[in-house]
């Protein structure tokens, strides 16, 4: 029930697809049930104003959100993790060059991505180190999220 939209601009002469997609969710509601802020209010409806991924990128941080964000700094994606359709790809990612490159990067980042390292990042180093991730999150908001996550760990 979560949809991510993207687009490709092309002048290729593509065949028109007029077949209706099968509903693969059937009676599953795992994403709705797992969402910590009940942002997936109804089938196929995402209330972005309640979505943690969106809120973590905003200036305003409601008290209710602080209690569920745990160690999340930039994103949430709990709904993606619980979706049965994603499970096999999480366990066994597609064997592509992009996957291999990304896996190497993750391995290299493993030691770096700790709250104690992140809280030490200056604005300059934040841009230099994480700028290529294109999160679009200003340093002040990133830093607030790191402090909030640290508070969670302490409590």
User: Got the DSSP string for 103-136?
Assistant: HHHHHHHTTT-SHHHHTT--HHHHHHHHGGG---
- CB closer to ligand SF4, 73 vs 76: 76
Q: Which residue, 82 or 150, is less far from ligand SF4 as judged by CB?
A: 82
Token pair listed for 9: 């601009």
**Contact stretch for ligand SF4 (CB under 6 A) within 8-16, 29-37, 90-98, 147-155:** 29-37
The site map against ligand SF4 for 65-104 (x = CB under 6 A) is -----------xxxx--xxxx-------------------
d(CA 144, CA 135): 15
Name residues contacting ligand SF4, limited to 47-66 (CB under 6 A).
51-53
What's the closest the beta carbon of residue 88 comes to ligand SF4, in angstroms? 12
CA distances from 151 to 44, 62, 68 (A): 34, 15, 12
Query: Closest distance between ligand SF4 and the C-beta of residue 52, in Å?
Result: 4
**In this structure, are residues 41 and 51 in contact, taking their beta carbons and an 8 Å threshold?**
no
Distance in angstroms (rounded) separating the CA atoms of residues 9 and 152: 43
Which lies closer to ligand SF4 via its Cβ, residue 31 or residue 121? 31
Contact between 28 and 79 (Cβ < 8 Å)? no
Which parts of this chain interact with ligand SF4 (CB under 6 A)? 1-2, 25, 28-31, 35-37, 39-40, 46, 51-53, 76-79, 82-85
């Amino acid at each position: 029930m979560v949809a991510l939209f993207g687009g490709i601009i092309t002048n290729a002469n593509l065949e028109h697809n007029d077949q209706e997609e099968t509903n693969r969710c059937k009676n599953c509601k795992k994403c709705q049930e797992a969402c910590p802020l009940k942002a997936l209010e109804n089938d196929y409806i995402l209330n972005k104003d309640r979505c943690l991924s969106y809120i973590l990128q905003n200036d305003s941080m409601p008290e209710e959100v602080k209690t569920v964000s745990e160690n999340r700094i930039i994103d949430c994606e709990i709904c993606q993790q619980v979706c049965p359709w994603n499970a096999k790809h999480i366990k066994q990612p597609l064997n592509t060059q992009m996957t291999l490159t990304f896996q190497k990067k993750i391995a290299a980042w493993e030691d770096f991505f700790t709250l104690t390292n992140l809280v030490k990042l200056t604005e300059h180093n934040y841009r230099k180190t994480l700028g290529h991730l294109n999160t679009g999150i200003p340093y002040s908001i990133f830093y607030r999220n790191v402090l909030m996550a640290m508070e969670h760990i302490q409590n």
